[in-house]
Amino acid sequence: MRTKVAIIGAGPAGLLLGQLLHKSGIDNVILERQTPDYVLGRIRAGLLEEGTVALLDEVGAGARAHREGLVHHGVELAFGGARHRIDMKAATGKTVMIYGQTEVTLDLMNARRAAGLTAVYEAADVQPHDFDTDHPRVTYAKDGVTHEIACDFIAGCDGFHGVSRASVKPSAIETFERVYPFGWLGILSETPPVSQELIYTNHARGFSLCTMRSMHRSRYYLQCPLDDHIDQWPDERFWDELKRRLDQKAVDNLVAGPSIEKSIAPLRSFVTEPMRFGRMFLAGDAAHIVPPTGAKGLNLAASDVHYLAAALREYYAGKSSAGIDGYSAKALARVWKAVRFSWWMTSILHRFPDTEGFGARIQLAELDYLVNSKAATASLSENYVGLPY
Ligand code: RFL
Ligand code: PHB
C-alpha cells in the first residue's frame, strides 16, 4: 500500500491530523494498536480551548461539541477557606468548553468513517522505517499478516509510550523532564457537578479539582501519593476526603454517588526536541507531556497538528519545504509556554514534600496576588484559555 502520510496512533492528535490532511486532499492512513472501543474508553481530558473547537469545526466535526459542550466564562480558585472567581471572559474575551476527550475522539472517528478513510485498528508491531531517507515506510501486522505502507511522511501521533519517538536514535534527540512527587486520583460519577464552574483548590491536605463532563456527570480529582492504588480508595473514602478539602458551601452542594470510573495518573512534564526527524514528525503526547493542572495536554495535541497540517499543505501545494522545516521550532515555542504554565499551576496548587511553613505561605501569597491583581488575573486567564496559534 502507498499513501502520502502514514499516521501512527488514532488518539485525538492522529485523528485530527487525518481529517485536516484529508480536507486538503492529502491522503493518509492511520494505524492504531488498540480497538476503537478501547480508545473510546480512556477517560482523560475534559476542557477544550477555543482554538481546539475551531479545529474541530474546520474538519466538520464540531457540531455536537457546540450542541452538548458547556461553555465556561470563568474558573474558581479556592484557598484559605474561601473561593475566588477568575472571570476569564472579562480578562481575555475568550471562553473554554467542557467536552470530554472521549466525545472529541468519537466525533473525529465518525468524521473519518463518513469520509470513507482508512484507519487500521488492532495493528500490531507498528514500526516506522527509513525516515532519514526520501523513502520512509511503516510496517505492521494485522491478523498475523505483515503489511507495509510506503509513504512520503510519517506522523508519530502515538502518545507517550508509542513506537515513533522510541525509533529515533538517541543521539538525534534531547529530552527534558520533571516528575512530580504525587499523582491525581480521578473519579467520574453520574451526579450533577458541585458548581457551575471548575473549582481548583489549594488545601493543606492536598490539591483537589471539581470538574464535570455535563450537568449530570461530574469528574473530581484528588492529589494522592504516587504509590497509592485505587483499591485503597473505595468511593466512600474518596468522597470523605474530597469534602475535607472543599469549603462548606461546596460540601453542602456536593452530590456523592457511585463512581463509574476511577484511576490514578502520575504527573509529569516532558518535552522532546526536536519534533521532526527527517521525514518523521512527532505530535501530541508522543512529543510532550504536561501535568493536567493547566488542562493543556489535549489542546497542545491539537495545536501541534494544526501546525503540521499547515506545513504539509504548503509542501504538497508545491510552494516550499519551509513549513515542514519550521514545524518543530514553531510547535515547540507554543509547547514550552504550555509546559511552563502547567508546571506553574501545579506548583502553586499542590502540596509538595517541602511545602511546609514557608512554601505554603508563598503559595497563598501568590494565589492572593493572582485573584486581586488585574494584571496577574489577565496573565493566568490568557494562558488558561489558550495562547494564540
Ligand atoms: P493519545 O491520546 O495517547 O493517543 C495515542 C494513540 O496512539 C496509540 N498507540 C499506538 N498505535 C500504534 N502503534 C503503536 N506502537 C502505538 N502506541 C500507542 C494509542 O493506543 C493511542 O490511541 O495521544 P494524543 O493523540 O497525542 O492526545 C493527547 C491526549 O490524549 C493527552 O494529552 C491528554 O489526554 C492528557 N491528559 C489530560 N489532559 C488534559 O488536558 N486534562 C486531563 O484531565 C488529562 N487527563 C491525560 C489525563 C493523560 C493520561 N494518560 C496519557 C495516561 C489522564 C491520563 C490517564
Ligand atoms: C477535566 O475535566 O478532566 C479536567 C479539567 C481541567 C483540568 C484537568 C482536567 O485542569
| CATH code (residue 258) | 3.30.9.10
Between vectors from CA 97 to CA 115 and to CA 202, what angle results, nearest 5°?
Answer: 140
- Among 198, 212, 264, 380, residue to substitute to test ligand 2 (most atoms within 8 Å of Cβ): 198
Residues 231 and 300 in one domain: no
Ligand 2 pocket, residue 46 CB under 6 Å? yes
**Which positions ≥6 away from 70 have C-beta within 8 Å?**
97, 98, 99, 212, 214, 215
Residues 256 and 293 in one domain: no
Residues 281 and 355 in one domain: no
Contact 94, 50 (CB under 8 A): yes
Residues 24 and 148 in one domain: yes
Low-confidence ranges of the chain (pLDDT < 50): none
Residue 91 lies inside a defined structural domain of this protein? no
Residue 90 lies inside a defined structural domain of this protein? no
* pLDDT for 43: 85
pTM of the model: 0.97
How far is CA 7 from each of CA 70, 100, 163, rounded to the nearest angstrom?
31, 23, 12
* pLDDT for 118: 83
**Which positions ≥6 away from 98 have C-beta within 8 Å?**
46, 47, 48, 69, 70, 71, 72, 211, 212, 213, 214
**In 3D, which of 352, 298, 310, 384 has the Cα closest to residue 85?**
384
Q: Which residue's CA is the closest to the ligand 1 atom numbered 55?
A: 265
Atom of ligand 1 nearest to the CA of 13: 25
Residues 9 and 61 in one domain: yes
- The three-class DSSP label of residue 212 is strand
Residue 214 lies inside a defined structural domain of this protein? yes
C-alpha 199/C-alpha 292 separation (Å) is 14
pLDDT tens, residue by residue, 124-167:
999 999 999 999 999 999 999 999 999 999 999 999 999 999 99
CA dihedral 258, 83, 376, 97 (to 10 degrees): 40
Q: How far does residue 93's CA lie from ligand 1's centre (Å)?
A: 30
| Residues paired with 146 in a beta bridge | 141
Residues 233 and 335 in one domain: no
Contact 257, 385 (CB under 8 A): no
**In 3D, which of 43, 19, 36 has the Cα closest to residue 262?**
43
* pLDDT for 68: 97
**Which positions ≥6 away from 144 have C-beta within 8 Å?**
none
Atom of ligand 1 nearest to the CA of 15: 25
Residues 149 and 286 in one domain: yes
Residues 154 and 280 in one domain: yes
Query: Which position among 180, 220, 307, 384 bears the catalytic label?
Result: 384
Q: Give the largest Cα separation in the chain, rounded.
A: 63
Query: Which position among 136, 193, 291, 292 bears the catalytic label?
Result: 292
Contact 311, 21 (CB under 8 A): no
| Domain assignment of residue 158, given as a range | 5-71+96-177+268-346
Residues 294 and 260 in one domain: no
Q: Which residue's CA is the closest to the ligand 1 atom numbered 37?
A: 45
Structural domain tally of the chain? Answer: 2
Residue 40 lies inside a defined structural domain of this protein? yes
Residue 128 lies inside a defined structural domain of this protein? yes
Residue 77 lies inside a defined structural domain of this protein? no
Ligand 2 pocket, residue 47 CB under 6 Å? yes
* pLDDT for 74: 98
How far is CA 353 from each of CA 26, 69, 123, 387, rounded to the nearest angstrom?
50, 37, 43, 32
Residues 62 and 170 in one domain: yes
How far is CA 261 from each of CA 26, 41, 48, 189, 276, rounded to the nearest angstrom?
38, 10, 21, 7, 36
Residue 251 lies inside a defined structural domain of this protein? yes
In CATH, what number is assigned to the domain containing residue 18?
3.50.50.60
- Among 219, 264, 385, residue to substitute to test ligand 2 (most atoms within 8 Å of Cβ): 219
Residue 10 lies inside a defined structural domain of this protein? yes
Q: What radius of gyration do the chain's Cα atoms show?
A: 21
Q: Which residue's CA is the closest to the ligand 2 atom numbered 7?
A: 295
| Terminal CA-CA length for the chain | 35
Residues 127 and 47 in one domain: yes
Ligand 2 pocket, residue 219 CB under 6 Å? yes
Ligand 2 pocket, residue 349 CB under 6 Å? no
Q: How far does residue 101's CA lie from ligand 2's centre (Å)?
A: 10
Residues 228 and 214 in one domain: yes
